[in-house]
Amino acid sequence: PCIGQVLGDSFAEIESLGAPEHFCEDELLSILNSDRRKSLTLKYYAKKILYFLRQQKVLRSLKAFLERPPEEQLALEGAVLVDQYCNPLADVTLESISVQIDDITDKVKKYLRVKNASHPSLRTGQGHGLVEDLELQRQVICALNAVLYDQLQYKGNECDYYNPLNSYIHQVVLRRTGIPISLSVLYMTLARKLGVLLEPVNFPNHFLLRWCQRQTRSDDIYDYIYVDAFGKGKQLTARECEYLIRQQVTAEYYGSISTTELLLRMVGNLLNIGKRGEGNEKSYQLLRDSLDLYLTIDPDNVQYLLLQARLYFHLGIWPEKVLDILQHIQALDPSQHGAVGYLVQHTLEHIQHKRHPMEPDVKRRSAPEHSQVQYSVGLIMKHKRSGYNCVIYGWDPKCMMSQEWITTMRVHQLTSGANQPFYNVLVQDGTCRYAAQENLEPHSAPLEIAHPEVGRYFSEFAGTHYVSNEELQTRYPEDMVETQSTVQELYEAHLLSSGHLAEPSADHQTVGP
């Protein structure tokens, strides 16, 4: 199956199989855990299906979570669902995160016991009742700051602020760093376990918590101290919050928000990171995942519905779903008919094309116009100038990129310019590149290329090269024979009597700059 089908349409077939979920999962996991070097294409698609099945499970949990009364929607549980949806193949559970949070809570209690042995938060069997007295609350907050920031060294991630890991609660606990909103979720969860109620505040550019300084709830923003979990638990007055973001804001921004609003802000951050991405597989996946989450929480957001339709359209996946989204947009906001009409027309064309798929473009090495092509798919190469290791998954007899790309990449500075074979390569660092023949050479000690798309093109790693899968062999029918004779010539000296390649030396395994 082609990538688009597996990412989109054929998932409906999986759901209609009616097999028990755990049975499907077990089967997929047994494929993924089989011999590391073999069945790469099967594993590639098994991983995608497992990703999809687990995400569907999380979405069902999220919908159930959103239907609960607001007081039963705990921020931590919501944050875990966001984390699980964006990392469905990781082992993230509310139980494991809660155990780690209980561990931090115990450390805070230990610290508190030294300061005030009779503190009500230390009573066993007290449950999670609230501490009424302000001075006793202050002791909890001081102990929490001492343990979290001084003892455990948690801190705001200023150096790598836009890394999505900062938003995933299991990574925040693991790496002890995050952004204001994720650290606030951790902080308020810990405070609540110790009897202090802190409320989330949707402050612009910098998420905060607020702590009421009166016995009864107040609507006056000056009756609160604002806590900056990103800034080591620093306590601010309403006025100091404005200095923090260097702008004046109206009183409404100091109000507390619901868990649903908190999750929208958290997912909105991930969405913006996805939009900032370089248009690679990873940023598209993040954009897709965060849009799915956002629209599960706020299903009628026209701006994001349109973005979702455009993204699916751009990726060429799930055209039927695109039509459903567009219909929904049209019903919500008829003024969008221009954008909707354009996408409907092109999506219908896409559906037509899918019913009559084009024959794949077949490239034969023996054709006279390909006489200059030296290398073949499956060969493991090194880039002479950049030093990176890669595997070839396609080639053109000359550069087929736009004039703009040729100029930007300074192709004319190459000895043979654009008029030489160019190769599509999967690079060790997870990128896909288009490299000139004169810049590539066969790797002196071939090694596996840890790229997420390897299984899309190859069925196995044979020690000296990758073996094309059926789809790639159809496109390059003469390449596999060429690859085998090339590796035989190149690595004969390295082959041991057992027929295995000598282990590459350590210095060959490092990726060049």
What DSSP element (H or E) covers 311? helix 302-315
| Per-residue tokens: 501 | 């390649």
Residue 234: name the closest of 110, 116, 141 by CA. Answer: 141
Write out 117-172 in H/E/C secondary structure: CCCHHHCCCCCCCCCCCHHHHHHHHHHHHHHHHHHCCCEECCCCCCCHHHHCHHHH
C-alpha 447/C-alpha 509 separation (Å) is 7
C-alpha 491/C-alpha 502 separation (Å) is 9
| Per-residue tokens: 228 | 């900056």
C-alpha 73/C-alpha 67 separation (Å) is 9
Residue 169: name the closest of 77, 307, 32 by CA. Answer: 77
Note the pLDDT of residue 18. 55
| Per-residue tokens: 223 | 């009756």
Q: Are 288 and 322 in contact, with CB atoms under 8 Å apart?
A: no
Burial class (CB in 10 A: 0-12, 13-18, 19+), 282: middle
Note the pLDDT of residue 146. 98
| Per-residue tokens: 466 | 């990758």
Q: Are 168 and 89 in contact, with CB atoms under 8 Å apart?
A: no
Note the pLDDT of residue 339. 87
Question: Which region holds residue 48: left if phi is over 0, alpha if psi is between -120 and 50, else beta?
Answer: alpha
What is the dihedral sign for C-alpha 94, 100, 106, 107? negative
Note the pLDDT of residue 316. 81
Tens of pLDDT along the chain (513 residues) come to 343 344 444 455 555 555 556 668 888 888 788 777 788 999 999 988 899 899 999 999 999 999 999 999 999 999 999 999 999 999 999 999 999 999 999 999 999 999 999 999 998 665 568 999 999 999 999 999 999 999 999 999 999 999 999 999 999 999 999 999 999 999 999 999 999 999 999 999 899 999 999 888 888 999 999 999 999 999 999 989 988 888 888 888 899 999 999 999 999 999 999 988 776 778 889 999 999 999 999 999 999 999 999 998 888 878 888 999 999 999 999 999 888 988 999 888 888 877 777 777 899 999 999 999 999 999 999 999 999 999 999 999 999 999 999 999 999 999 999 999 999 999 998 889 999 999 999 998 889 998 989 999 999 999 999 999 999 999 999 999 999 999 998 877 555 434 554 443 333 332 322
pTM of the model: 0.84
Note the pLDDT of residue 320. 86
Residue 140: name the closest of 63, 53, 233 by CA. Answer: 233
Burial class (CB in 10 A: 0-12, 13-18, 19+), 136: middle
C-alpha 152/C-alpha 355 separation (Å) is 58
Write out 464-485 in H/E/C secondary structure: CCEEECHHHHHHCCCHHHHHHH
Contacts of 203 (CB under 8 A, 6+ apart): 226, 241, 245, 249, 253, 254
Note the pLDDT of residue 501. 47
C-alpha 486/C-alpha 490 separation (Å) is 6
Amino acid code (one letter) for 190: L
What is the CA 269 to chain-centroid distance, rounded? 12
Residue 200 dihedral angles phi and psi, to the nearest 5°: -75, 140
Note the pLDDT of residue 509. 32
Burial class (CB in 10 A: 0-12, 13-18, 19+), 369: exposed
Note the pLDDT of residue 319. 85
Strands 155-156 and 177-178: parallel
Taking the alpha carbons at both ends of the chain, their separation in whole angstroms is 36
Note the pLDDT of residue 361. 87
Q: Are 208 and 184 in contact, with CB atoms under 8 Å apart?
A: yes
